[in-house]
Amino acid sequence: MMQYRKATMADVPAIHQLIQHWANQGVMLRRPAMRIYEAARDFVVAVDDTTGELAGVGGLHIMGQDLAEIRSLAVQPGRVGGGVGRGLVEQLMLDAADIGLQRVFALTYQQKFFERAGFLVVTKDSLPQKVWTECVYCDKFDHCEEIAVVRWVDPAHPDAPVVDEIPLIEKPHWGK
Ligand SMILES: CC(C)(COP(=O)(O)OP(=O)(O)OC[C@H]1O[C@@H](n2cnc3c(N)ncnc32)[C@H](O)[C@@H]1OP(=O)(O)O)[C@@H](O)C(=O)NCCC(=O)NCCS
């Protein structure tokens, strides 16, 4: 049975190793172990409760008042296609609902996977500029081919399919 739960600090070495594996294949962003520790509360893990093995990981990073990003979604190579990725996404969507977020997006090469999970492809410039801050860590900074996908947390949201109406997050007021 697959167990989905919040990550703990003890999970971080295995999470790091899994992300490294896929980063080495060029399909996801590298993440130094220290940055995973710092963001540990963002992550959920899928754990095989018979072997205790980490089967997959995914992070939900809040980007603003109503928007969060799915980051570092990765399934062990031997378990790809077994439903773990979808399970992680659903867990992250529940987390997003719990905290009162409205929309979740991802930047990805895995368009079909996200479409199967109820995400819509949107234009990249419909997302706030702030979402590109991570891009400086990417080898493909100047030749990015990722697509942007968005899913409303509430599937009954009247605006759910309206993908080009994503408002920019209000800019912070820095004083005079
Ligand atoms: C992308 C990834 C997270 C998907 O997880 P997974 O456990 O393999 O996917 P699932 O088995 O949950 O698939 C769910 C659905 O998406 C479909 N799907 C998954 N990957 C797909 C792909 N590459 N192409 C087409 N369909 C795909 C599945 O067929 C399944 O469809 P169904 O609803 O008809 O059954 C996983 O393959 C992975 O870790 N890949 C490498 C890292 C990566 O690319 N991460 C994404 C970063 S944003």
Q: What is the pLDDT of residue 126?
A: 84
93 is a domain residue: yes
Distance 54 CA to ligand 1 centre (A): 17
Alpha-carbon distance 106 to 155, whole Å? Answer: 17
11 is a domain residue: yes
Nearest to 86 by CA among 49, 118, 40: 118
Q: What is the pLDDT of residue 173?
A: 43
**pLDDT tens-digit series, residues 95-144:** 999 999 999 999 999 999 999 999 999 988 888 877 777 777 777 777 77
pLDDT at 94 over 60: yes
Spatial strand order of the sheet with 67-75 comes to 2-6, 43-48, 54-64, 67-75, 103-108, 147-152, 120-122
The pLDDT confidence band at residue 158, using thresholds 50, 70 and 90, is: low
**pLDDT tens-digit series, residues 29-69:** 899 999 999 999 999 999 999 999 999 999 999 999 999 99
Question: In the numeric block, which tokens belong to residue 2?
Answer: 């697959």
158 is a domain residue: no
Alpha-carbon distance 9 to 77, whole Å? Answer: 23
Q: What is the pLDDT of residue 161?
A: 47
138 strand-pairing partners: none
Distance 38 CA to ligand 1 centre (A): 27
Number of domains, the chain:
1
Question: How many Cα atoms are found within 13 Å in the side-chain-facing hemisphere of 64?
Answer: 18
Domain range for 7 is 2-152
174 is a domain residue: no
pLDDT at 20 over 80: yes
8 is a domain residue: yes
Supply φ then ψ for residue 162, to 5 degrees. Answer: -80, 100
159 is a domain residue: no
148 is a domain residue: yes
Q: Read off the CATH number of the domain in which 75 is found.
A: 3.40.630.30
Question: In the numeric block, which tokens belong to residue 113?
Answer: 């996977």
59 strand-pairing partners: 43, 71
Choice from 48, 104, 110, 112 to test ligand 1 binding pocket (greatest atom count within 8 A of CB): 110
Please work out whether the CB of residue 72 comes within 6 Å of at least one atom of ligand 1. no
Question: In the numeric block, which tokens belong to residue 127?
Answer: 């997302």
Q: Whose CA is nearest to atom 48 of ligand 1?
A: 108
